[in-house]
């Protein structure tokens, strides 16, 4: 896909990896609509990239806000051709801690944002994407979709679910709308707020976004970002080794 002149929606587009995605898409000549809860960061990006980007404040863990985003895009951005489901949260949970009795709202929020919102935005915006000459849907997953880590069971479940949904959507599009390209970006560890204070060998959000944008331009089904590229081969030879490393 040539991104010049395309209209792209980036969830979580004003912070972390999403911010770099917004910058790079705008740099390639795309118009970008960013979604996020924080109005200030959305406005900062609008100032930085004036004219090329707009923001829609929304909490995507809330189904009314997801519906509002779908309605607004349909009303104001009828040329939408790129959807990037990037926004997510990762919550550490140990179900044997005393605090686990209070986990239910956090579990629901994480499921709603990381998985339900991505599925509902994809299906809700599909009629619009289908009308374009070419379109791309990108779902941002993680190496943890292949095998989970102990400390964030719900996050890992949402990423495994998103990976599965992405594949099934790719099958459906291949059959019914082959001009819609469905891509999964399997992320490595990236230096953002999500990973602050933990992990080593992190790559920059700029590099992560660059690999995703290149994947969109080349029409790739899957982009395994940075070190995550080792996972498919390792997993083919030893799923248990991959499970052990990621645990
Ligand atoms: N960083 C990593 O190492 C890593 C590794 C594997 C996968 N990933 C994936 O990469 C993607 C981006 O992660 P990141 O590291 O850039 O995270 P981040 O720095 O924490 O940014 C998260 C983004 O999501 C938005 N967001 C959070 N909650 C939201 C809500 N309820 N409604 C709407 N927007 C919301 C945030 O904006 P507001 O705060 O303004 O709402 C922010 O723009 C995620 O899908 C993550 O799972 C990241």
For residue 146, is it within any domain?
yes
The answer to whether residue 1 is domain-embedded is no
pTM of the model: 0.97
Distance 234 CA to ligand 1 centre (A): 27
Ligand 1 atom nearest to CA at 189: 3
Count of domains for the chain: 1
Residue pLDDT tens, the chain, 247 long: 999 999 999 999 999 999 999 999 999 999 999 999 999 999 999 999 988 999 999 999 999 999 999 999 999 989 999 999 999 999 999 999 988 888 999 999 999 999 999 999 999 999 999 999 999 999 999 999 999 999 999 999 999 999 999 999 999 999 999 999 999 999 999 999 999 998 889 999 999 999 999 999 999 999 999 999 999 999 999 999 999 999 9
Q: CB of 194 closer than 6 A to ligand 1?
A: yes
Euclidean distance between CA atoms 127 and 143, whole angstroms: 30
Tell me the residue range of the domain where 126 lies: 7-246
Q: Does 143 fall in a domain? A: yes
Q: Is residue 102 part of a domain?
A: yes
Torsion sign across C-alpha atoms 171, 174, 176, 179? positive
Residue nearest to atom 34 of ligand 1 (CA): 36
35 φ, ψ (degrees, to nearest 5): -115, 140
Ligand 1 and 33: CB distance under 6 A = no
**End-to-end Cα, the chain, rounded Å:** 37
Helix (H, G, I), strand (E, B) or coil at 18: helix
Residue 218 included in any domain:
yes
Classify residue 175 as exposed, middle or buried by CB count within 10 Å of its CB (0-12, 13-18, 19+): exposed
- The protein residue with its alpha carbon nearest to ligand 1, atom 23, reads 12
Is residue 2 assigned to a domain?
no
Question: Does ligand 1 have an atom closer than 6 angstroms to the CB of 36?
Answer: yes
Assess whether the C-beta atom of 56 lies below 6 angstroms from ligand 1.
no
* Ligand 1 pocket residue status of 209, Cβ below 6 Å: no
Q: What is the pLDDT of residue 99?
A: 86
CA of 156 to the centre of ligand 1 (A): 14
145: domain CATH number is 3.40.50.720
Residue-by-residue DSSP string for 30-50 = -EEEEEES-HHHHHHHHHHTT
**120 ligand 1 Cβ < 6 A:** no
Task: Judge whether 78 lies within some domain.
Answer: yes
Rounded Cα distance, 139 and 160, in Å: 12
Note the pLDDT of residue 51. Answer: 86
Task: Flag whether 239 is in a domain.
Answer: yes
53 Cβ below 6 A of ligand 1: no
Alpha carbon nearest to ligand 1 atom 31, residue: 59
């Amino acid at each position: 896909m040539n991104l010049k002149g395309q209209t792209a929606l980036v969830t979580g587009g004003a912070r972390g990896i999403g911010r770099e995605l917004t910058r790079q898409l705008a740099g390639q000549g795309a118009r970008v609509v960013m979604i996020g809860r924080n109005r200030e960061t959305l406005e900062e990006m609008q100032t930085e990239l004036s004219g090329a980007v707009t923001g829609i404040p929304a909490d995507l863990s809330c189904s009314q806000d997801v519906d509002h985003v779908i309605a607004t895009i349909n009303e104001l951005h009828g040329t939408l051709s790129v959807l990037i489901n990037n926004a997510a949260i990762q919550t550490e949970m140990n179900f044997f801690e005393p605090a686990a009795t209070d986990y239910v709202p956090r579990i629901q929020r994480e499921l709603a944002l990381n998985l339900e919102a991505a599925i509902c935005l994809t299906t809700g915006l599909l009629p619009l994407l289908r009308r374009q000459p070419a379109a791309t849907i990108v779902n941002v997953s993680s190496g943890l979709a292949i095998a989970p880590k102990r400390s964030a069971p719900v996050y890992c479940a949402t990423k495994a679910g998103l990976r599965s949904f992405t594949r099934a959507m790719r099958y459906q599009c291949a059959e019914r709308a082959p001009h819609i390209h469905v891509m999964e970006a399997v992320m490595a560890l990236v230096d953002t707020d999500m990973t602050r204070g933990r992990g080593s060998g992190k790559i920059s959000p700029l590099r992560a976004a660059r690999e995703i944008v290149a994947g969109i331009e080349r029409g790739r089904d899957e982009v395994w970002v940075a070190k995550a590229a080792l996972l498919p081969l390792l997993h083919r030879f030893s799923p248990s080794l991959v499970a052990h490393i990621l645990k």
